[in-house]
């Protein structure tokens, strides 16, 4: 189990699973409905530690692992938050100041804008960076 300094994983039960499903539905929409070739992504529903109560989500860069606080799952911009974390987790996408989706403090990006930016960033990674990174790691 991966540990985060900001999050405390909730134990898996019926309630946690319901919240996790909200996040998985977005990832599955990306994978199955929209056809993105995503790896398996581990999703943990959490409570944040006190000093990180404003954290909306976290990801292990390139590690296919994301942490989403239970409170975040109730937000209207959950799609944008999940896609932000998926880009970190899968594509190692870094923060980009002023980007509605990838700004460090990205706030309230509408779903269609979020999907559009995700599409651009994912394909840049998929076609130009993915194999290059893999080659580097093998060298
Ligand atoms: Zn981020």
CATH of the domain at 111: 3.40.390
Q: Is the pLDDT of residue 24 over 80?
A: yes
Q: What is the pLDDT of residue 125?
A: 94
- Output the pLDDT for position 139: 60
Query: pTM for this one?
Result: 0.92
Q: 52 pLDDT exceeds 80?
A: yes
Give domain status of residue 96, yes or no.
yes
Alpha carbon of 70 to ligand 1 centroid (Å): 17
What is the rounded average pLDDT of the residues 116-139? Answer: 84
Q: Which of 39, 130, 115, 127 is nearest to 80 (CA)?
A: 115
Instruction: For residue 81, report the distance from its CA to the centre of ligand 1, in Å.
Output: 9
pLDDT at 119: 98
- How many Å lie between the centroid of ligand 1 and the Cα of residue 23? 16
Looking at the domain assignment, is residue 2 inside a domain? Answer: no
Mean per-residue pLDDT over the chain, rounded: 93
* pLDDT of 74 strictly over 80: yes
The number of distinct structural domains making up the chain is 1
Residue 3: what pLDDT?
84
The confidence score (pLDDT) of residue 133 equals 62
The answer to whether residue 37 is domain-embedded is yes
Residue 107 has pLDDT above 90, yes or no: no
Residues paired with residue 43 on neighbouring β-strands, in sequence order: 66
Ligand 1 centroid to Cα of residue 58, in Å, is 7
Structural domain includes residue 57: yes
Looking at residue 132, what is its pLDDT? 72
Q: What separation in Å is there between the alpha carbon of 100 and the centre of ligand 1?
A: 12
Distance 88 CA to ligand 1 centre (A): 7
CA of 7 from ligand 1 middle (Å) equals 14
Q: Which residues pair with 66 in a beta bridge?
A: 43, 59
For residues 69 and 50, give the distance between their C-alpha atoms in angstroms, rounded to a whole number: 12
Return the pLDDT at 108. Answer: 73
Domain carrying residue 71: 7-138
């Amino acid at each position: 189990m991966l540990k985060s300094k900001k999050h405390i994983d909730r134990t898996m039960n019926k309630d946690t699973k319901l919240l996790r499903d909200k996040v998985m539905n977005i990832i599955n929409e990306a994978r199955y409905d929209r056809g993105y070739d995503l790896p398996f992504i581990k999703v943990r529903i959490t409570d944040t530690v006190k000093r990180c109560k404003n954290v909306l989500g976290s990801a292990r860069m390139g590690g296919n692992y994301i942490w989403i606080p239970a409170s975040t799952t109730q937000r209207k911009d959950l799609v944008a938050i999940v896609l932000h974390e998926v880009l970190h987790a899968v594509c190692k996408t870094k923060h980009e100041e002023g980007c509605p989706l990838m700004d460090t403090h990205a706030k309230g990006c509408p779903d269609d804008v979020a999907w559009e930016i995700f599409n651009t960033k994912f394909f840049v990674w998929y076609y130009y960076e993915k194999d290059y990174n893999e080659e580097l790691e093998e060298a």
